[in-house]
A and B are shown apart, each in its own frame.
Chain A
Amino acid sequence: EPEVTQTPSHQVTQMGQEVILRCVPISNHLYFYWYRQILGQKVEFLVSFYNNEISEKSEIFDDQFSVERPDGSNFTLKIRSTKLEDSAMYFCASSLIRAISGNTIYFGEGSWLTVV
């Protein structure tokens, strides 16, 4: 079964450093998403991306965050200057079409970011 893959699985970084989280969405998918989950809390929407531009972003997705599809396979989330409160599990997701139900969105296993 095709899957969304994410790297790294776990990263520890110093506060103020830049971090890039990488995702390889399912190959024929066109819509890409990032969500995050702070430990013990709910999963929160960050951003959706289609046709090389952001479709929608949440209040969390401020100027320190950016997304990019640098080539035909990767989808990245960059955090420019990490803060302690950025420590969370970051989930990438993708869908073939503009998702109309949860069944059409596939989540990766997550990248656990720890900011120290």
Chain B
Amino acid sequence: GESVGLHLPTLSVQEGDNSIINCAYSNSASDYFIWYKQESGKGPQFIIDIRSNMDKRQGQRVTVLLNKTVKHLSLQIAATQPGDSAVYFCAGFYNQGGKLIFGQGTELSVKP
């Protein structure tokens, strides 16, 4: 079946350090994988995505790595800032009417 899941529920890092959030998936049929940031009381906010035929994509301070061999996705945040504190979800996008399958979420806490 389809599922996208996260390794760790919480991650605490020091301001300025790099953060790595991991995600595993079981269904290889996803066209895209996406990372979302969700702040308390708000909707998911798109961070970065990666096509299933790529293995790395970089954005501003963020990098997503995709390892299809082991069905693993990671989000790297460089120089983590207090404003990065939020819950981060990975999601697999299955091109069937816009259906996103979300993972469980990792809460990132940045200590000043």
Main secondary structure of the interface of B (DSSP, over half): strand
Q: How far, in angstroms, from A55 to B34 measured CA to CA in the complex? A: 22
Of A41, A45, A98, the contact of B104 (CB 8 Å cutoff) = A41
Stretch at the interface among A13-21, A68-76, A77-85, A107-115: A107-115
Does residue B61 face the partner (Cβ distance < 8 Å to A)? no
Task: Decide yes or no: A107 and B44 within 8 Å by CB, A56-B99, A99-B93, A99-B98 being known contacts.
Answer: yes
Residues of B with Cβ closer than 8 Å to A?
A: 31-32, 34, 36, 38, 41-46, 49, 51, 89, 91, 93, 95-105
Does residue A102 face the partner (Cβ distance < 8 Å to B)? yes
Assess whether A108 is in contact with B43, with CB atoms less than 8 Å apart: yes
Chain A nearest CB: distance from B50 CB in Å?
A: 9
Assess whether B95 is in contact with A100, with CB atoms less than 8 Å apart: yes
Chain A nearest CB: distance from B21 CB in Å?
A: 14
We find that the number of chain A residues with CB closer than 8 angstroms to chain B is 28
* A to B CB contacts below 8 Å, 6 in the list: A42-B102, A42-B103, A43-B89, A56-B96, A100-B93, A100-B95
Assess whether B46 is in contact with A102, with CB atoms less than 8 Å apart: yes
Chain A nearest CB: distance from B41 CB in Å?
A: 8
Contacts of B103 in A (CB 8 A): 42
Q: How far, in angstroms, from A50 to B96 measured CA to CA in the complex? A: 12
Assess whether A42 is in contact with B32, with CB atoms less than 8 Å apart: no
Chain A nearest CB: distance from B106 CB in Å?
A: 11
Contacts of A56 in B (CB 8 A): 96-99
Assess whether A110 is in contact with B98, with CB atoms less than 8 Å apart: no
Task: Decide yes or no: A102 and B104 within 8 Å by CB, A56-B96, A91-B44 being known contacts.
Answer: no
Task: Decide yes or no: A109 and B97 within 8 Å by CB, A101-B34, A102-B36 being known contacts.
Answer: no
Q: A101-B34, A102-B100 are in contact. List 16 more A-B contacts (CB 8 A).
A: A42-B102, A42-B103, A43-B102, A45-B101, A56-B96, A56-B99, A58-B99, A91-B43, A98-B97, A98-B98, A101-B49, A101-B93, A102-B32, A102-B34, A103-B46, A109-B43
